[in-house]
Amino acid sequence: MAGHFVHRDPSFAHGVHPPMSKEQTRGLAIRQFPFAPVMNIPLAQHIGEAAVPVVREGQEVERGQLLAEPGGFVSVAMHAPASGLIQRIGLMPSIAGKMVTGIYLKPFPGSTQEVSSGTPCDLDSATADEIITAIQRAGIVGLGGAAFPTHVKLKVPAGHSVDTLILNGVECEPYLTTDYRVMLEQRHDIFTGIGYLLKATGARRAIIGIEANKQDAATALRAALPRGHHVSVELLEVKYPQGAEKLLIKALLNRDVPSGGLPADVQAVVVNVATAAEVGRLLPLGRGIQERVITIAGPAIKKPGNYRIPVGTPLRFALDYVGVEKDLSQVFLGGPMMGAALPSLDIPITKGTSGFVAFTERETGGRRRESPCIRCAYCVDACPLFLNPSQLGLLARNEQYETMVEKFHLMDCFECGACSYVCPSHIPLVQYFRAAKVMAKKRRGKP
């Protein structure tokens, strides 16, 4: 069989191969971004309850100082991204469009911006629960884009056990190179972080999953593998959406996370490599997240790159700093496959922002009109979950939302966009599904 002669890196079934467009920034080392004149720090930068402020308007804070306490278990702390003055605590625009509560911080221009440290969390003496609490107090959330509080993931539910910790270094979104740069430049932070994460979850081994287009990152990590832990690095086929949690588990462990279930149901926990690096960087010093690494890229950006940027930096300031082309047409947060197009630049960069990409009119001008489905089955062969996007699209147009949910598993769709990407009829399938999910929930809510 041909399969014996052609080496193929493991992967999931189906999926698509968009151009990765990472050349623009992959060779650019992480650089420090300057402080904006005013930082906007939303109290809910994560999934879950908003954090509760412990500072008041007019107070002076040090960089790294606690600004807000976790508002519950599914919530994390917030720290000052710069030494400065709390101008105001009030409403500010958010990505979702509605106004949210946040802290306006004005950095001191003359400050040395030393980071203050707290109580270190010692890996050898801390218990699993102590590490989990420390991660929550450090304000760490999933840096891959979901911004789900990391400590919640690590808290293995009662009755479950975890044997494998998976580090997600796939970064399958086009243009983004943050995880790649972190793997090259912060491998010791990653391994320190893995030490904490293994202890917190009780997993015996850790696997770092990387797409095969980042061989050098894999080589660098392999060269520095720590002794004493079972850590391995696995290369995966370059295929979108390889970075999706369930598909990464499928590729590395060949386990199917049940519908509606958690990775813990198949004895796994998945953490992004950049998140692990932050755990390894912050916990030994007792610090919290005040900045993160993002990629700013796309044809409309004059100075693309990978930047360590303070959380709360307004997007407008960031774009002004890197410069944009005159024919700027569109900016989206995250990559072009799953990222949201921004209606305005008056929003801050938050912990979940893995980067933003800007397109010129050349990239956005060629978009074409929707035409009828020709049942080519490209979408059926693209959907990594084996849903039937063509049929779901048809039902959505007929407003049969209940049927979509009950018989065609609409709610399993995680909106990766593979179906829309391949559709030759240019049907905005993902958008139909988003709307259908909202409508189905609304209808179900009625008596």
Binding residues for [4Fe-4S] cluster: 373, 376, 379, 383, 413, 416, 419, 423
State both tokens at 172. 């399958």
Element of type H or E holding 328: strand 328-333
Nearer to another protein, 57 or 320 (CB): 320
Report if residue 331 touches another protein, rule: CB under 8 A: yes
The contact mask relative to another protein for 7-36 (x = CB under 8 A, - = no) is ---------x-xx-----------------
Q: Please state the closest distance from residue 391 (CB atom) to another protein, in A.
A: 7
Q: Please state the closest distance from residue 78 (CB atom) to another protein, in A.
A: 27
State both tokens at 178. 């943050």
Q: Please state the closest distance from residue 253 (CB atom) to another protein, in A.
A: 14
For 284, half-sphere exposure in the C-beta direction (CA atoms, 13 angstrom radius) is 16
Q: Candidates 145, 336, 348, 352: give the one binding another protein (CB under 8 A).
A: 336
Element of type H or E holding 268: strand 268-272
Count residues binding another protein (CB under 8 A).
77
User: What contacts 261, CB < 8 A, 6 or more positions away?
Assistant: none
Q: Please state the closest distance from residue 439 (CB atom) to another protein, in A.
A: 16
Q: Candidates 99, 224, 340, 438: give the one binding another protein (CB under 8 A).
A: 340
Let me know: does 147 contact 351? Beta carbons within 8 Å. yes
Q: Please state the closest distance from residue 238 (CB atom) to another protein, in A.
A: 16
Report if residue 410 touches another protein, rule: CB under 8 A: no
Report if residue 439 touches another protein, rule: CB under 8 A: no
* Residues in 166-195 at the binding interface with another protein, rule: CB under 8 A: 174
State both tokens at 246. 């369930």
Distance CA 248, CA 25 (A): 24
Query: Annotated binding residues, as ranges?
Result: 373, 376, 379, 383, 413, 416, 419, 423
Report if residue 390 touches another protein, rule: CB under 8 A: yes
Let me know: does 162 contact 267? Beta carbons within 8 Å. yes
Nearer to another protein, 57 or 406 (CB): 406
Q: Candidates 417, 436, 437, 440: give the one binding another protein (CB under 8 A).
A: 417
Q: Please state the closest distance from residue 26 (CB atom) to another protein, in A.
A: 18
Give the sheet arrangement for strand 60-61, strand by strand.
39-42, 99-107, 84-93, 60-61
Q: Candidates 326, 445, 446, 447: give the one binding another protein (CB under 8 A).
A: 326
Give the sheet arrangement for strand 340-341, strand by strand.
31-32, 305-310, 291-297, 355-360, 328-333, 340-341
Q: Candidates 395, 396, 405, 440: give the one binding another protein (CB under 8 A).
A: 395
* Residues in 358-377 at the binding interface with another protein, rule: CB under 8 A: 359, 363-364, 367-368, 371-377
Distance CA 352, CA 294 (A): 10
Q: Please state the closest distance from residue 94 (CB atom) to another protein, in A.
A: 16
Report if residue 398 touches another protein, rule: CB under 8 A: yes
User: What contacts 297, CB < 8 A, 6 or more positions away?
Assistant: 21, 24, 25, 175, 176, 177, 304, 305, 355, 357, 358
CB burial of residue 284 (10 Å; 0-12, 13-18, 19+) = middle
- Nearest C-alpha neighbor of 238 from the set 15, 4, 2: 15
Which part of the chain contacts another protein (CB under 8 A), choosing from 62-70, 115-123, 126-134, 414-422? 414-422
Report if residue 267 touches another protein, rule: CB under 8 A: no
* Residues in 224-263 at the binding interface with another protein, rule: CB under 8 A: 246, 250, 256-261
Place of tokens 């009119």: 361
